[in-house]
Amino acid sequence: MALNVLVYSDDRNTREQVLLALGKRPAADLAEIQYLECATEPAVIKALDAHAKGGRRLDLLVLDGEATPVGGMGLCRQLKDEIYGCPPVLVLIGRPQDSWLAAWSRADAAVAAPVDPVALAATATTLLRSGTAHLVG
């Protein structure tokens, strides 16, 4: 059974960097990943609703904290407030000093952009393995 990962950014290049960093399988003990790319906040909400109604779970959300007009950190906080059992969320932050904003957003993990493929894959793998929320900073 594949893992479902949603990647949100208004920047196609950022989404592509995430997909390339995680690849088909970021660790040998994980199932292959199926990606759902979203460029807008309404698309993220629609995808979450569709997965919930279809009885399928999203296993990880990767949200771009620098996305516009709705940033990934504000969206993360909204999702954590409004969705019971919200999937783990990894936010991409503009700089390491923004980790406090990631904590405010209640993200489960944060990785500084530009994307470091090794750091992103390691953090995503931890979240995918655990399936539980904890802040990795």
Residue ranges of alpha helices (H) inside the chain are 12-22, 41-53, 72-82, 99-104, 117-130
Q: How far apart are CA 122 and CA 107, in angstroms?
A: 16
Q: Is residue 85 left, alpha or beta, with left meaning phi > 0 and alpha meaning psi from -120 to 50? A: left
| The total number of structural domains that make up the chain | 1
Is residue 115 one of the residues assigned to a domain?
Answer: yes
Is residue 136 one of the residues assigned to a domain?
Answer: no
- What CATH number corresponds to the domain at position 115? 3.40.50.2300
Segment 13-43, tens digit of pLDDT: 999 999 999 999 999 999 999 999 999 999 9
Is residue 101 one of the residues assigned to a domain?
Answer: yes
Give me the mean pLDDT over the 90-113 stretch: 92
Is residue 61 one of the residues assigned to a domain?
Answer: yes
- Residue 52: domain span: 9-130
The pairing of strands 60-64 and 109-112 is unpaired
Is residue 92 one of the residues assigned to a domain?
Answer: yes
Q: Do 64 and 72 form a contact (C-beta atoms < 8 A)?
A: yes
Overall pTM > 0.75: yes
